[in-house]
Structure 1
């Protein structure tokens, strides 16, 4: 029983305030408060100088202009040291000619990783798994995704998801599977039977049934 309890991971919860942090990074000290007014993608990786992580960091960097356009910052993390992060960045620049322009948290005491549920004993006791957290401009955790150690993430999906959530916030709508900007959005279900009848008869929306109506923004 004691061993089972030690395996329990505390995870943050969606639509609640993201866990606060105050951490050393390759761009100086950073806190969650520093990102208020901006969206943030906080992502962890198992270790510096590893091949899958290297491809992920370059993929994030390649899409940084897209995230910038969405008012979304990038912040990496691993349980390696500050100096290791710097050396890895220089190594990427030397070998691939790419400058990593976003900060990386040096989480040696594993505090941020623990608060965000990034350490999974079944995968590794002293490494953060491939976890990704999307935090909105009010500091609220909106999405989180976990990947195995062996497989890299798709940054295009993170770009798509931030666009989708920002669209939902602005227009009070939902988005269907694989939604992309320009696609139809889903109108929230009618609150009453009368509203449902009126909606179906209005011609304002494309309604398959009373609960499934879409529109073009």
Structure 2
């Protein structure tokens, strides 16, 4: 199944390290950082799980729930979490899906046969409070994710939901944003009383008010 931006994230009910969850019920009203890793007790995955746990406050202040997944069992997850906590000096509290039968991995296209027929690649889905897929990213097994980028795109998505803007290349919170071309100058005056810079007829930039 090929999932695209704007699709509704498929629901599922499955065992996790926090007990069985119904995904749509568990995530209702929250953003979700849903990510897969190839296997427990592997080095890159250990650093990624640790980094997710270390960033718990950053995710929470953005209203985001992390949810991990691999094709290992709950018992294997729970044993591995002890290593993650010890080696990464953290405390993993978010749930990790135990997808031993690969049901969710197949549903979300996390198995890439030319990489591995059984293990999930490093897939990222950012899902909004309405269960809509807003961003997807896929990393190979040998390359860990950039968590600064994950937080950045969540910030960008939430900013573009609040205001009629787009975010330029390398945008970070506090930097200038782009006023969408569909917004007339008259409408822009209402939304952006701080004014803007018109670089071309279609490129207008402004700084959002704090």
How high is the TM-score relative to the length of structure 2? 0.91
Task: Give the structure 2 partner of residue 175 of structure 1.
Answer: 167
How does 1:144-159 map onto structure 2 within 5 Å? Answer: 144-159=136-151
Q: Report if the CA contact (8 A) 2:47-2:84 is conserved.
A: no
Pick closer, same or farther for the CA change 1:207–1:90 going to 2, 3 Å: same
Q: Measure, in 1, the Cα distance between the counterparts of 2:87 and 2:133.
A: 35
Q: Deviations over 1:166-185 (max 9, x none)?
A: 00000121111121111111
Structure 1 residue aligned with 2:2: 11
Spell out, residue by residue over 1:109-143, the C-alpha distance to the aligned partner (whole angstroms, 9 max, x if none): 11110011000000000000000100001110000
Q: Aligned equivalents of 1:23 and 1:58: distance in 2?
A: 23
The secondary structure found in structure 2 opposite 1:42 is: strand
**Aligned equivalents of 1:75, 1:203: Cα separation in 2:** 39
**Alpha-carbon distance in structure 1 between the residues aligned to 2:129 and 2:16:** 21
1:128 maps to which residue? 120
1:46 to 16, 38, 43: 38
- In structure 2, do the counterparts of structure 1 residues 197 and 62 end up closer, same or farther at CA, with 3 Å as the change threshold? closer
Give, in whole Å, the separation in 1 of the partners of 2:154 and 2:61: 11
Q: Which residue of 1 aligns with 2:152?
A: 160
What RMSD, in angstroms, separates the aligned Cα atoms of the two structures?
Answer: 1.9
Distance in 2 of aligned mates of 1:185 and 1:31: 37
1:66 aligns with 2:42: no
Give the structure 2 partner of residue 209 of structure 1.
200
C-alpha separation in 1, matches of 2:47 and 2:177: 33
Q: Distance in 1 between matches of 2:99 and 2:187?
A: 55
Question: Which residue pairs with 1:20 in the alignment?
Answer: 11
The one of 100, 110, 113 aligned to 2:92: 100
Cα distance between partner residues in 2 of 1:17 and 1:104:
21
User: Does the 8 Å CA contact 2:14/2:99 hold for their aligned counterparts?
Assistant: yes
2:50–2:85 Cα contact (<8 Å) kept? no
Residue 91 (structure 1) shift: 2.2
User: Which residue pairs with 1:89 in the alignment?
Assistant: 81
How far did residue 80 of structure 1 move? 0.6
Aligned to 1:119: 111
> In the aligned structure 1, how far is the partner of 2:194 from the partner of 2:35?
44
How far is the alpha carbon of 1:22 from its aligned partner? 1.0
**Structure 1 runs (4+) greater than 4 angstroms displaced:** 195-199
SS at match of 2:3: coil
Q: Which runs of 5+ in 1 are unaligned?
A: 1-9
